[in-house]
């Protein structure tokens, strides 16, 4: 855990602190890093970062739900399928269908 102290400078308001953490939360989401890795990289206090994220999560409540729009399902018969040139049937019943002739020599070499 990062133990860098987070001393608030004189004159910094609660709004400034919250904006500081909101900015880092946004950058953290964009970074793709875990919270721990992000805090280590930017010398942030891991626990304080978690505090602010938890605080916002509780403030959002039900308003954090997003609308979901569903499209009607596409029938698989409507999707054009390329011609199958080779089908391998395995003992467990699974099938491997090959549609691209350029892959056939590679598959054959696996059994050669």
Q: What is the pLDDT of residues 68-107, one digit of tens each?
A: 777 777 676 667 777 888 888 888 888 888 888 888 788 7
Opening angle at CA 110, ends 105 and 112, nearest 5: 85
Task: Find how far residue 78's CA is from the centre of its chain.
Answer: 31
Q: What is the pLDDT of residues 2-27, one digit of tens each?
A: 444 455 555 678 888 888 988 999 89
Q: Domain map of the chain by residue range?
A: 14-61, 81-110
User: Exposure string (b/e) for 61-80, b if CB count within 10 Å is 16 or more?
Assistant: eeeeeeeeeeeeeeeeeeee
In angstroms, the CA 39 to CA 36 distance is: 5
In angstroms, the CA 66 to CA 63 distance is: 8
pTM of the shown model: 0.44
């Amino acid at each position: 855990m990062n133990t860098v102290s987070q001393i608030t400078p004189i004159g910094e308001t609660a709004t400034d602190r919250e904006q500081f953490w909101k900015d880092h939360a946004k950058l953290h989401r964009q970074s793709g890093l875990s919270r721990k890795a992000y805090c280590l990289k930017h010398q942030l206090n891991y626990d304080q970062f978690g505090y602010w994220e938890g605080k916002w999560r509780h403030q959002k409540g039900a308003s954090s739900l997003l609308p979901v729009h569903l499209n009607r399902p596409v029938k698989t018969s409507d999707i054009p399928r390329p011609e199958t040139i080779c089908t391998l049937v395995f003992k467990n019943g699974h099938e491997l269908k090959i549609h691209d002739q350029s892959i056939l020599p590679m598959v054959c070499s696996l059994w050669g």
